[in-house]
Amino acid sequence: MNIVILAAGQGKRMRSTLPKVLHPVAGRPMLAHVIATAQQVAQSRSLPANTIVVIGHGADQVRATFSDRSDVRLVLQQPQLGTGHAVQQAAPLLQDDEPTLVLYGDVPLVRAETLTRLIDGAGGEVGLLTVELADPTGYGRIVRDGRGNVLKIVEQKDANDRERAIREVNTGILVVPTARLKQWLARLSNNNAQQEYYLTDVIAMAVHDGVRVAATASTDVDETLGVNSKSQLAVVERIVQRRAAERLMEAGATLADPARIDVRGEVVVGADVTIDIGCVFEGRVQLADGVRVGPYCVLRDVTIGARTQVNAFSHLEGTTVGSDARIGPYSRTRPGAALEDEVHIGNFVEVKASRMGRGAKANHLAYVGDAEVGARTNIGAGTITANYDGANKHRTEIGVDASIGSNAVLVAPVKIGDGATIGAGSVVSEEAPAGKLTVARARQVTVEGWKRPVKKGKSQ
């Protein structure tokens, strides 16, 4: 199946150096959404997807963004002389024995189900996706004959008063027999108000050549929305987030407010998951049964076990958390953190590239980096693992049932034995033996006769 996605436009109204199709929706470029939907359609029909993206403005940035996509071919339209001209650039790459589906990189909400209806409705001829708008200003109008057959599409600037009164408009999305499409592209003219080559002229050519044009109406105006400004981008973002919230609730999650959640990736939820307001989910997030996520948390590429609580304002990234754990409030985990069942980390605790064993605790004001922490070990307030020597990272090993006193510094590489106790305020740079108290701090001294300095008077 041929898929041509038009993505060459400048997007002046975006007022940005970023090409329009690279502006993110739900954490991914708009263009990436369109590619994914189109390829989903091809897969559902058991057809290979010959995906061609026509680029122009900001071509280098688009190429860089999709440089790792071997399943997408990019062709340059330079200069940009209209939608018909854009498809002409892709024509040499199209396979004649498969239909061509034409999509737009700035229309990211179109559904795979709608495109499937469009293709099925075309029945191997021309299929055109339309929508009825209360205010059709700016859109190409669908002109039909008295029996309802599609005759042509007339652009706003070329339409007469009667045609401008038509509310059924062209979305630009169509499916065409490829061999026919190539013939019609060769016949396009720029004899119009814009002096551009309109792809929509293909419809009139099809009618002239006796090819049926099947108009499939979209049942959801939202999915046909294009993005030409930051305001329209914000509207589309909210629609995507509403859809994501609906999917989560259908899967069994309870959302404190469906309008105050942002999903910028994939979220998989078990039963009885509760998500409070203001949370952001990025990458792939898995929340098992009974997980509770407090307000204003950020979870990126995280897996969380059953009944774990993530309390307010916590930031978890690249982390796995076991069952019945308690995180936060105001906790941070960084990539490589692995917290086993029943672990507690509390306010202003940071864990990075470390494993904390079952039931281990660091309840406040601690940094655990590049460490292995044994089960049931307790890390006191203000304690850190000093893992970086200015050039390299080093590991700290803490055994099971250890107790690390407040304000301790564990200078890696260092090992703390099972059941060891580290006295508060200690700076430990050598092995602390199992089952013993280790204290590494200066002896307290009281200086007799010492007097605190006083400020000199202004006259002195």
Ramachandran quadrant class, 132 (left: phi over 0; alpha: psi -120 to 50; beta: rest): beta
Which amino acid would we find at residue 223? E
- Domains located in the chain, CATH noted: 2-224 (3.90.550.10), 254-438 (2.160.10.10)
pLDDT of residue 460: 53
**What's the one-letter identity of residue 418?**
D
Per-residue pLDDT of the chain (460 residues; tens, 9 = 90+): 999 999 998 889 999 999 999 999 999 999 999 999 999 999 998 889 999 999 999 999 999 999 999 999 999 999 999 999 999 999 999 999 999 999 999 999 999 999 999 999 999 999 999 999 999 998 899 999 888 889 888 988 889 999 999 999 999 999 999 999 999 999 999 988 888 999 989 998 999 999 999 999 998 999 999 999 999 999 999 999 999 999 999 999 999 999 999 999 999 999 999 999 999 999 999 999 999 999 999 999 999 999 999 999 999 999 999 999 999 999 999 999 999 999 999 999 999 999 999 999 999 999 999 999 999 999 999 999 999 999 999 999 999 999 999 999 999 999 999 999 999 999 999 999 999 999 999 888 999 999 999 988 765 5
Q: Which among 20, 4, 11, 9 has a CA at the least distance from the CA of 74?
A: 4
* pLDDT reported for residue 138: 87
Cα separation, 178 vs 158, in Å, equals: 27
Structure tokens at 204: 């009139």
Contact present, 438 and 428 (Cβ < 8 Å): yes
pLDDT value at residue 458: 60
Q: How is residue 24 written in tokens?
A: 């993110």
Contacts of 212 (CB under 8 A, 6+ apart): 123, 125, 126, 206
Which of these is catalytic: 23, 85, 315, 364?
364
Place of tokens 């510094």: 409
Known catalytic residue at 364: yes
Across 230-242, b (16+ Cβ under 10 Å) vs e yields eeebeebbebbbe
State residue 193's pLDDT score: 80
Q: Are strands 28-29 and 24-25 parallel, antiparallel or unpaired?
A: antiparallel
CA distances from 38 to 4, 48, 112, 128, 159 (A): 9, 11, 7, 16, 31
Phi/psi of residue 371, nearest 5 degrees: -135, 155
Q: Residue 390: helix, strand or coil by DSSP?
A: coil
Cβ contacts of 450 within 8 Å, gap of 6 or more: none
At residue 146, the pLDDT reads 85
Helix ranges (DSSP H) in 45-177? 59-65, 83-90, 112-122, 161-164
| Measured CA angle at 128 (ends 127, 133), to 5 deg | 155
